[in-house]
């Protein structure tokens, strides 16, 4: 055994269901058996595993679940297992919940559910676990101080939003809701934890899995696909397996259980894309820096890296584009995944790419600065461009101050930061800050120079404050804790994908949703095409502590025609050392290769006064 030196205990709930009364699956039990084996081999006696299955795993002849009611994946057993984990765990413990099976969706209100079974082993019927009930169970764990990871290898749409069903021979992990209601009505006790305040809109996408009362810093969710996509169960090495579960387990083995969610997800989503399947883009939400299942291992990195896929014809496809600030002619250094992972893999379809320069934000360093050549080397190592001022105006300047520290100024010679000598800033420290500022400026100034007019006419974006509507480009002046709403409406006939980046105090860029992306589906009978996100503006505590009573936030609404992640543009607050296990940033989840990259940006400025 190879148990990790960690005082935390580990708890796993693994649910795999093949034997549905209708629409049986083939690979779900194998999914959780392989994961169970890896967790036991890695964590040994440190982990307690609750296994709930219906069906025979690959390589076995005996259906253990049919003979043991304790293994049966009934609604009662799942709820009991979740409660037992919460009761038996202590603060700091790690919880991993993995579900492989069917998902479904109520077409009337869009609510999502996992398709479990009742307690009749002989003639089982369907019983649903609604995801808002599941969210409340996760909330109880987070409230106790547990670190929770939830992985869902199922889909909630079956492709119904695209109007096209599965291809010939394709196995999808979706259970039609009309079959559920014909066989057994939704359980009367399944929605007792519901609260109208937790329902974000008239229809649900995967953001419904995020109960907004749950601390996003203490949990994370990985899902097999987006709300309008399908989770596939192909044959891999002769066995039916969930594509999501297969590559998730592969990521666990290559990265280790202490890898961050961002690292695990990037490897997972890249491999799903490289497999060539259509209409499946994994989705992630919650704390991307949280360890996947264990104690976070730290390795500092300052580089911005992007996943690259190798197509079957041998060409390399960069999983980022103009929407991430990539331009024709940019240069890249390519590293095999095995180098960053310290893996022995000899040839992989997934590579990692070093972003050679954060576009054109040149830095001016005075030649009389001590150790000038060392400064040049440090800038080159971080792919920053040296300004040949006065020929090229700089974006940033570095100046020496009297006490031996440094000042950083913008291109207009306005002071951005002072690094006094008592802080003992090294050349590396200063250049790391310059890289952070350049990346911030890149994300802040990104704009599509050639917008698609059909796409920009297919949506409507505005903000609401006290009943008044504000169009993109507006500046809103609000008092502390004012409630503001962002409204995005799909006016077209195709899904629109959205990420909202919040540019905050401290040169920070974060994702307002803590999710890879959100989808706004086109309007149809019984389903809204509008998403309203409400939040409260607030002057940060650290700003108030400095005697300041106002701040300015900028919201940039990134809209795309296909599932796109903008984690490459996210930045922690300047001065916070966020150390990562690996050198990869998660990037675009991918779409069909033939799709054109269509995107646009809408912006709002919010001035908050305490």
Q: Please count the other Cβ atoms lying within 10 Å of the Cβ belonging to residue 531.
A: 22
Q: Is the pLDDT of residue 454 over 70?
A: yes
Q: Dihedral of the CA atoms 339, 298, 318, 167 (nearest 10)?
A: 100
**pLDDT for the residue 170:** 54
> Could you tell me which of 497, 560, 495 has the C-alpha nearest to residue 521?
495
Predicted pLDDT at 188 = 40
pLDDT of residue 2: 46
User: How far from the centroid of its chain's Cα atoms is residue 353's Cα?
Assistant: 20
- Identify the pLDDT of residue 123: 84
Rounded CA gap, 332 and 337, in Å? 15
Asked if pLDDT for residue 197 goes beyond 70, the answer is: no
Contact between 429 and 488 under an 8 Å Cβ cutoff? The reply is: no
Q: Is the pLDDT of residue 280 over 60?
A: yes
Mean pLDDT in residue range 220-246: 90
Percent of the chain with pLDDT over 70: 72
pLDDT of 499 over the 90 cut: yes
From residue 144, alpha-carbon distances to 57, 212, 296, 444, 509 in Å are 34, 17, 19, 38, 29
The Cα 330–Cα 472 span in angstroms is: 31
State yes or no: pLDDT of 406 exceeds 60.
Answer: yes
Q: Does residue 107 register a pLDDT over 70?
A: yes
Pick the CATH number of 10-286 from 3.10.129.10, 3.40.50.1460, 3.40.190.290, 3.20.20.70: 3.40.50.1460
- Residue 334's pLDDT band, with cuts at 50, 70 and 90, is low
pLDDT of 54 > 50? The answer is yes
In angstroms, the CA 74 to CA 552 distance is: 50
Q: Which residue has the tokens 């002619």?
A: 329
pLDDT at position 440: 93
What is the structure's pLDDT at 462?
Answer: 98
Position 509 confidence tier, pLDDT thresholds 50, 70, 90: very high
Whole-number pLDDT of residue 167: 52
Could you tell me the pLDDT band of residue 212, with boundaries at 50, 70 and 90? very low
**Band (187; pLDDT cuts 50, 70, 90):** very low
**Into which CATH architecture does domain 453-609 fall?**
Sandwich (2.60)
Per-position b or e across 57-69, b if 16+ CB within 10 A of its CB: bbeeeebebbeee
pLDDT, the chain, mean: 79
pTM over 0.85: no
pLDDT value of residue 580: 34
pLDDT at 120: 83
Judge whether residue 77 has pLDDT over 80: yes
- Domain map (residue ranges) of the chain: 10-286, 363-445, 453-609
pLDDT of 355 over the 70 cut: no
- How many CB atoms are closer than 10 A to CB 25? 25
The model's pLDDT over 544-589, given as tens digits with 9 standing for 90+, comes to 888 889 999 999 999 999 888 888 899 988 876 433 333 333 333 3
pLDDT beyond 90 at 433 = yes
Distance in angstroms (rounded) separating the CA atoms of residues 286 and 45: 28
Span 591-603, mean pLDDT? 71
User: Measured between alpha carbons, how far is 227 from 449 in angstroms, rounded to an integer?
Assistant: 30
């Amino acid at each position: 055994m190879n148990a990790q030196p960690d005082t935390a205990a580990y708890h796993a709930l693994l649910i795999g269901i093949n034997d549905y009364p209708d629409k049986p699956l083939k690979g779900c039990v194998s999914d959780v058996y392989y994961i169970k084996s890896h967790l036991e081999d890695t964590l040994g006696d440190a982990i307690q595993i609750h296994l709930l299955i219906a069906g025979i795993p690959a390589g076995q002849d005996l259906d253990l679940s049919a003979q043991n009611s304790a293994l049966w994946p009934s609604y009662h057993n799942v709820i009991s297992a979740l409660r037992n984990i919460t009761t038996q765990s202590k603060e700091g413990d790690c919880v991993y919940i993995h579900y492989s099976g069917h998902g479904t969706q109520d077409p009337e209100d869009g609510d999502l559910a996992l398709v479990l079974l009742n307690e009749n082993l002989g003639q089982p019927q369907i019983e649903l676990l609604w995801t808002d009930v599941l969210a409340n169970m996760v909330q109880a764990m987070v409230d106790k101080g547990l670190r929770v990871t939830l992985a869902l290898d199922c889909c909630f749409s079956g492709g119904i939003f695209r109007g096209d069903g599965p291809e010939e021979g394709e196995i999808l992990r979706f259970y039609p809701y009309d079959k559920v209601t014909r066989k057994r009505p939704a359980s009367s006790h399944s929605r007792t934890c519901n609260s109208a305040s937790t329902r974000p809109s008239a229809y649900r996408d995967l953001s419904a899995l995020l109960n907004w009362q749950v601390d996003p810093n203490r949990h994370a969710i990985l899902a097999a696909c987006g709300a309008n996509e399908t989770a596939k169960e192909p044959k891999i090495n002769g066995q039916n397996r969930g594509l999501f579960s297969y590559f998730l387990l592969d990521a666990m083995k290559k990265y280790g259980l202490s890898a961050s969610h961002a690292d695990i997800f990037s490897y997972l989503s890249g491999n799903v894309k490289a497999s060539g399947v259509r209409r499946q883009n994994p989705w992630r939400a919650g704390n991307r820096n949280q360890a996947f299942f264990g104690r976070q291992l730290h390795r500092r990195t300052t580089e911005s890296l992007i996943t690259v896929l190798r197509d079957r014809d041998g060409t390399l496809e960069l999983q980022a584009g103009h929407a991430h600030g990539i331009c024709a002619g940019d240069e890249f250094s390519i590293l095999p995944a095995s180098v960053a992972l310290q893996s022995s893999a000899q040839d992989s379809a997934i590579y990692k790419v070093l972003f050679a320069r954060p576009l054109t934000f040149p830095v001016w360093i005075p030649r009389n600065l001590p150790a000038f050549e060392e400064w040049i080397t440090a800038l080159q190592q971080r792919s920053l461009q040296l300004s040949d001022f006065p020929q090229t105006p700089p974006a940033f300047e570095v100046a020496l101050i009297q006490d031996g520290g440094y000042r950083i100024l913008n291109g207009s010679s306005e002071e951005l930061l002072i690094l006094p000598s008592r802080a003992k800033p090294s050349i590396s420290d200063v250049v790391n800050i310059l890289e952070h500022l350049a990346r911030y400026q890149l994300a802040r100034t990104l704009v599509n120079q050639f917008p698609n007019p059909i796409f920009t006419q297919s949506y409507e974006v505005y903000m609401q404050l006290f009943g008044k509507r504000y169009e993109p480009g507006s500046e809103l002046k609000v008092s502390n804790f004012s409630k503001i709403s962002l409204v995005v409406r799909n006016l077209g006939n195709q899904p629109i994908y959205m990420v909202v980046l919040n540019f905050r105090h401290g040169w920070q860029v974060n994702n307002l949703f803590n999710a890879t992306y959100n989808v706004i589906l086109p309007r149809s009978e019984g389903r809204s095409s509008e998403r309203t996100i409400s939040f409260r503006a607030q002057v940060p505590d650290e700003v108030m502590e400095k005697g300041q009573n106002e701040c300015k936030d900028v919201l940039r609404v990134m809209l795309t025609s296909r599932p796109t992640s903008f984690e490459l543009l996210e930045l922690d607050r300047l001065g916070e050392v966020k150390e990562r296990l690996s050198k990869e940033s998660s990037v675009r989840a991918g779409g069909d290769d033939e799709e054109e990259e269509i995107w646009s940006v809408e912006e709002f400025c919010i001035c908050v006064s305490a």
